[in-house]
Structure 1
Amino acid sequence: MTLYKSWCTGTLKKTKKKTLRAYAEKKGSRAKVLAQLGETVKAHYDHTDRIADDVARLGYAKAAEILRALLPQSPRARSGDLGEILASELVEEEIGFRVPVRRMRFKDGREVAMRGDDFIGVGYDDKDKLWLLKGESKSRAALGKTTIAEAREALNRHDGRCTPNSLLFIANRLLDSADTADQELGRTLRDEVGVKALPAQRIDHMLFALSGNDAGDKLESDLENAGDERNQHVASLRIEDHQDFIAAVYEEAMNLGDK
């Protein structure tokens, strides 16, 4: 079951190279998808089969302690992480790129934000040539122009290209995979860091906003002013009880079932 289609209503405004998406919860839908949201969050921090193995070996209580050690506990860290997680899910569900590495599994501290691009999507054009999406995510109870400008500035750094350290991080994780297709993609991404072969029109940009306020006008203005040398995506998800929602999702994520 897809997440956004089950959970949210959405609007879409699209011109030739610019797409604006706006989402809000359907009435009564949160209760229906909360368990799915919890499972989604868990899967971004750890492999589900490892969690299941912890339960089988140690029981629910001790397995829950392992999970708690992985998941952030502070509201600020949770907010930032959940923005990236929901952005990655939207990219795969609605935009057609694959986010090949779940970055949260590699954090060196559960309360620490990871460096580099918030998310990178990978795809191919109709000639089977590499196509990338560089993404920035912001999560705020009240999203304003300054935060949106910070995200746009980050997208435009490195001449609009994915940062080398971010691409190498993904490439090296893929090269560690046992899957030969992932290994090939990892080599391709490492090569891209060296040769910078992708033109601007094959590196899309995306700004994702999770916010408690309606920031639609500000985000639309940002999109209008964005460059037109590449595809530009802006997506917003408005959750009025922003902090309560985040707390509920992480509480659900830490639920392993029987105690």
Structure 2
Amino acid sequence: MGLYERWCESTKEKDKRKHYWTYVEKDGGRDEISDDLAETIRSHYDRLERIAEDVKRLGFEVASEILSTAMPQTPKGRSGDLGEILATELVEEEIGLRVPVRRLRYKDGRNMAMRGDDFIGAGYDAAGEKLWLLKGEAKSNKALGRTTVTSARKVLNRDSGRCTPDSLLFVANRLLESNTPADNELGRSLRDEVGLKSLSADRIDHMLFTVSGNGPHASLKEDLDATGANRDHYVVNIHVEDHQDFIAAMFLEAEDLGDD
């Protein structure tokens, strides 16, 4: 079972190409996924095998110090990063596209927000021939409101709804550096797209992903209703009532690699 299936109860509404998904934590769901989510958070900042090598060479305490150096230390930075992490995991678990680059590994500073698209999903159509993309914007707020939703939609709509060229090129180049042929093939397709801009709108989906303490604000559904029908639109909310305490606890657990 995937992370979300074990953690939350979901409600999914669909109207043609518009998808409205809401998630609420199950009783005991957080305890069920806590260890796995902590490991997932670590994996977005560094390769797990590299962390394990640090432990082997230097011990748990020093390895934890190295890992925490990559992680944000401010509440705002942690909130923003966890939003991107949870969005990435949802795309791969529920939609089936890859988010092929864990971009938080490449931050200029651990407390700084990265520029560009928050997350990009990529893959091919059912026939395995035509490139398919998802452009995503993630928001994490104690209290989600209309201003945040409106701002996120503006970001999704910029560049004519396409993934921003610098974000797409960044992902492409990381894939082309891989030793895996499938990564290289996808990287080449993405790099071609940066130049050719050949994808039609109906093969560039959008996701507005939110995690918040107040649950799905009415503006989310209103925003979805107002979007066009030329692509798949996903509007998602994860309701975590103790939003800020949850984030603080999860980063504390992620930084703690143990002592044995």
Report the TM-score when normalising by structure 2. 0.98
1:51 Cα deviation (Å)? 0.2
Task: Tell me which stretches of 4 or more aligned residues in structure 1 moved more than 6 Å.
Answer: none
Tell me how far apart the structure 2 counterparts of residues 216 and 90 of structure 1 sit (CA, whole Å). Answer: 20
Query: Which residues in structure 2 correspond to 1:108-127 (within 5 Å)?
Result: 108-127=108-127
1:228 Cα deviation (Å)? 1.3
Structure-2 residue corresponding to 1:131: 132
Tell me how far apart the structure 1 counterparts of residues 7 and 216 of structure 2 sit (CA, whole Å). Answer: 20
Structure-2 residue corresponding to 1:76: 76
Contact 1:22–1:216 (CA<8 Å) still a contact in 2? no
Structure-2 residue corresponding to 1:189: 190
Structure-1 residue corresponding to 2:38: 38
Structure-1 residue corresponding to 2:52: 52
Partner AA of 1:65 in structure 2: E
Structure-2 residue corresponding to 1:142: 143
Partner AA of 1:43 in structure 2: S
1:257 Cα deviation (Å)? 1.6
Partner AA of 1:5 in structure 2: E
Residue ranges of structure 1 left out of the alignment (5+ in a row): none
What is the DSSP-based 3-state SS (H/G/I as helix, E as strand, rest coil) of the residue aligned with 2:163? coil
Alpha-carbon displacement from aligned partner over 1:147-183 (angstroms, at most 9, x marks no partner) = 0000000000000000000000000100110111111
Tell me how far apart the structure 2 counterparts of residues 217 and 13 of structure 1 sit (CA, whole Å). Answer: 15
How many positions carry a matched residue from both structures? 259
Alpha-carbon displacement from aligned partner over 1:104-147 (angstroms, at most 9, x marks no partner) = 11111100111100000012113320010000000000000000
Structure-2 residue corresponding to 1:90: 90
1:215 Cα deviation (Å)? 2.5
Contact 2:145–2:217 (CA<8 Å) still a contact in 1? no
Residue ranges of structure 2 left out of the alignment (5+ in a row): none
Structure-2 residue corresponding to 1:102: 102
What is the DSSP-based 3-state SS (H/G/I as helix, E as strand, rest coil) of the residue aligned with 1:198? coil
What is the DSSP-based 3-state SS (H/G/I as helix, E as strand, rest coil) of the residue aligned with 1:210? strand
Contact 2:205–2:233 (CA<8 Å) still a contact in 1? yes
CA-based RMSD? 0.9
Partner AA of 2:57 in structure 1: R
Identity of aligned residues (%): 60
1:223 Cα deviation (Å)? 0.3
Partner AA of 1:227 in structure 2: G
Tell me how far apart the structure 1 counterparts of residues 157 and 108 of structure 2 sit (CA, whole Å). Answer: 27
Report the TM-score when normalising by structure 1. 0.98
